[in-house]
Chains A and B, each alone.
Chain A
Amino acid sequence: MEEVDVEPTTTLIPGVGLKQKHLGFEWGPGDILVYETNFRPAGAGSGCPSVHVVRKDEDIYSPILRKLFNESHHIFVGLQNITEDVPSKNKKPQFVSISKNYRSVIRACMEELQHVAVSTQDVTLVCQYSNQVSILLATELIWNLCEVLFIDAAPAGCLLLHLLDWVRLHKADVDEKAKEVLQSDSPTNHLAYWDVVISFILQGRVDEARHVLTKQASVQAASRTLYQLMDTLLHKMPVFNPSGTQTLTEFDMKWRHWHEECDRCLQDKSFASNPHLETICKILLGDEDAMLEHKELLGTWYHFLVSRLLFSHPTVKPAELHYYAKSSMDMFLDSRSVPEPLDSILLAAFEFDLHQVIKDCSIALNNWWFVAHLTDLLDHCKLLQSHNLHFGSNLREFLVLEYASGLVSHHSLWQLAVDYFDHCPEFGRVYLELQLERVPLETERKALKVLRICEQRHMTEQVRSICKIMAKRALSNNRLGSALSWSIRAKDAGFATLISERFLQDYCTRGSFSDLDLIDNLGPAMLLSDRLTFLGKYREFHRLYGENKFTEAGKLLLSLMTAKIAPRSFWMTLLTDALPLLEQKEVIFSADQTHELMFCLEELTSDNTEPKPEPPALGEDVETAKLELLRLALARNLAMAIVKEGTVEA
Chain B
Amino acid sequence: MDCINAKYVSQKISKTRWRPVSASSLQQPELLATGSWDNEDNKVSIWSVGENGGHDSTDENVSGVCCTLQTLSVLHTWEGAHHYQCARAPCTAVVCSSPELVSVGEDGRVVLYKADQSRIVRTIENADSSTIHAVTFLRTAEVLTVNSIGQLKLWDLRQGNEPAQILTLTGDRVPLHCVDKHPNQQHIVATGGQDGMLCIWDVRQGSVPFSLMEAHSAEMWEVHFHPSNPDHLFTCSEDGSLLHWETSSGSDTPSFLQGRNSSMMSRSATAPAGGNQSLISAWLSGDSSKGRLETTHMLPSQTLSVNSLDVLGQCLVCGTDGEAVYIHRRVLV
The interface of chain A, by Cβ under 8 A from chain B, is: 63-64, 66-67, 70-71, 73-74, 77-78, 411-412, 415-416, 442-446, 448-449, 452, 456, 477-482, 484-485, 488, 514-515, 517-518, 521-525
Contact = CB atoms under 8 A, between A and B. Distances in A.
A66 B175 CA distance: 33
11 contacts: A63-B10, A70-B10, A70-B324, A479-B107, A479-B108, A479-B129, A485-B131, A514-B129, A521-B166, A523-B168, A523-B170
Contacts of A78: 301
Q: Which of B130, B131, B171, B322 has the most CB of A within 10 A?
A: B130
A481 B129 contact: yes
B128 interface: yes
Given A478-B84, A478-B85, A523-B172, A415 B129 contact: no
Contacts of B90: 442-445
B173 A525 contact: yes
A19 B261 CA distance: 93
Interface in B48-94: 84-85, 87, 89-90, 92
Interface stretch (B136-144, B198-206, B278-286, B302-310): B302-310
B322 A73 contact: yes
A588 B129 CA distance: 35
| Interface residue SS majority, chain A | helix
Contacts of B40: 411
A480 B129 contact: yes
A412 B171 contact: no
A518 B37 CA distance: 30
B218 A452 contact: yes
A452 B219 contact: yes
Interface stretch (B19-27, B111-119, B145-153, B265-273): B145-153
B193 to A, nearest CB: 12
A412 B84 contact: no
Given A71-B8, A481-B108, A485-B173, A515 B323 contact: no
Interface in B101-134: 106-108, 126, 128-131
Given A67-B323, A517-B166, A518-B130, 9 more contacts: A63-B10, A66-B323, A444-B92, A449-B238, A480-B129, A485-B131, A515-B129, A523-B170, A523-B171
B277 interface: no
B247 interface: no
B304 to A, nearest CB: 6
B219 A448 contact: yes
B252 interface: no
Nearest to B8: A67
A-B pairs with lowest CB-CB distance, top 7: A481-B129, A481-B130, A515-B129, A477-B84, A67-B8, A66-B10, A63-B10
Contacts of A515: 129
Nearest to B307: A445
A488 B173 contact: yes
Given A411-B40, A449-B238, A482-B130, A443 B106 contact: yes
Contact of B173 (A482, A514, A521): A521
Contacts of A415: 12, 304, 321
A202 B33 CA distance: 51
A481 B170 CA distance: 17
Contacts of A445: 37, 90, 92
A498 to B, nearest CB: 16
A456 B39 CA distance: 25
A439 to B, nearest CB: 10
Nearest to B91: A443
Contacts of B89: 477
B194 interface: yes
B38 interface: yes
B312 to A, nearest CB: 25
A484 B149 contact: yes
Nearest to A61: B40
Contacts of A77: 302
A444 B106 contact: yes
Contacts of A522: 173
A67 B106 contact: no
Nearest to A520: B166
Contacts of A452: 218-219, 238
B148 A524 contact: no
B151 A517 contact: yes
Contacts of B303: 74
